[in-house]
């Protein structure tokens, strides 16, 4: 019995479930493998970009969905999707990002259409629909926090979560709503081991006349990646931007009391509701990890990280 790499539900002998195909396009009856292998995708990304992108630790390709041809096609410009193939050095990144984004979706966080597609060599490539595009010609105004703060790729970590809050307060149309979303997103990333949410992985988008946080993107368990290649846990940060002056050994008082109540100014009821959601989806997260496309070793490491942090928060 196959499992759909988009929805994670069983799909019989097919590669994708009807529900997964409908997420891409209601007229899509199937999806053919990409015409390129993982190695060929990496070479194509290098050719188009001039250098490998290190954002999210993965080379990236722009693509469109050819519904008539039932396949993704790499393009040089105006792509509506981003493809991330297997990395040459870090195992299982597409599978890692795919399951992490699915977990975010289950928890009610705003995420674009995303999942995985098979490549010519049978490997899985992660895909995500661009949230800043309406068709291939219209672009929604979007700026990441590095751009807003005047930082570049070399200084994207030279910030703090307190300064992230200041940008939300200063630029969002309804900052109270966005601060609650920022809190849920921050706790989610901490729970799922994502210590690479730097300033380029937060963005503001203008939609329907409102400036608000963009959907979640570039979200995967980087702690698992480092542990899998032998880096000691004690040397791995828990968060990319310091919170309450700390990047490691965060405690409930840092995330809930200081960040949630003091810095974001959220009522206790809002914080409790968010914690209730995470507690309520934990069993489903663990089930999804078990049926995910990660190999058994990475599943075990991911589960250990999640359970350890769940227990730290008392969920």
* Cα 233 to Cα 248: distance, rounded to the nearest angstrom: 10
CA distance 224 to 221: 6
CB 265 within 8 A of CB 179: yes
Number of H helices, E strands in the chain: 10, 10
Pick the catalytic residue from 196, 218, 254, 295. Answer: 196
Crossing angle (nearest 10°) for helices 175-191 and 268-291: 40
The torsion of the CA quartet 242, 245, 250, 255, rounded to 10 degrees, works out to: -80
Distance CA(215)–CA(229), nearest Å, equals: 30
Nearest to 140 by CA among 208, 192, 83, 186: 208
Strand partners, 83: 61, 127
* Catalytic residue flag (residue 196): yes
Q: What are phi and psi of 128, to 5 degrees?
A: -145, 135
C-alpha 302/C-alpha 315 separation (Å) is 17
Using only C-alpha atoms, what is the Rg of the chain? 19
d(CA 117, CA 85): 10
Q: What is the 3-state secondary structure (H, E, C) of 122-158?
A: CCEEEEEECCCEECCCEECCEEEHHHHHCCCCCCCCC
Q: Which residues are catalytic?
A: 196
């Amino acid at each position: 019995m196959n499992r759909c790499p988009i929805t994670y539900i069983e799909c019989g002998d097919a590669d994708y479930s009807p529900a997964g195909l409908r997420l891409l396009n209601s007229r899509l009856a199937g999806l053919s493998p990409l015409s390129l292998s993982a190695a060929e995708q990496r070479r194509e990304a290098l050719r188009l970009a001039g250098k490998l992108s290190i954002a999210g630790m993965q080379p990236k390709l722009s693509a469109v969905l050819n519904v008539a041809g039932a396949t993704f096609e790499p393009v040089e410009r105006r792509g509506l999707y981003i493809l991330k193939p297997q990395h040459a050095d870090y195992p299982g990144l597409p599978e890692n990002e795919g399951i992490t984004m699915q977990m975010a979706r289950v928890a009610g966080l705003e995420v674009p259409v995303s999942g995985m597609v098979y490549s010519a060599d049978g490997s899985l490539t992660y895909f995500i629909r661009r949230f800043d595009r309406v068709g291939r010609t219209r672009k929604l105004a979007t700026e990441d926090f590095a751009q807003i703060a005047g930082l570049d790729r070399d200084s994207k970590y030279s910030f703090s979560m307190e300064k992230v809050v200041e940008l939300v307060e200063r630029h969002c149309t309804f900052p109270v709503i966005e601060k609650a979303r920022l809190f849920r997103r921050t706790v989610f990333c901490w729970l799922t081991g994502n210590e690479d949410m730097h300033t380029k992985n937060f963005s503001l988008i203008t939609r329907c006349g409102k400036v608000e946080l963009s959907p979640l993107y570039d979200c995967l368990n980087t702690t698992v990646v480092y542990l899998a290649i032998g880096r000691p846990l004690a040397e791995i940060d828990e968060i990319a931007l310091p919170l309450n002056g700390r990047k490691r050994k965060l405690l409930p008082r840092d995330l809930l009391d200081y960040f949630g109540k003091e810095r974001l100014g959220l009522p206790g009821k809002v914080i409790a509701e968010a914690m209730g959601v995470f507690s309520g989806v934990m069993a489903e997260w663990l089930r999804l990890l078990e049926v995910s496309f990660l190999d058994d070793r990475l599943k075990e490491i991911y589960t250990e990280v999640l359970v350890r942090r769940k227990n730290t928060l008392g969920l």
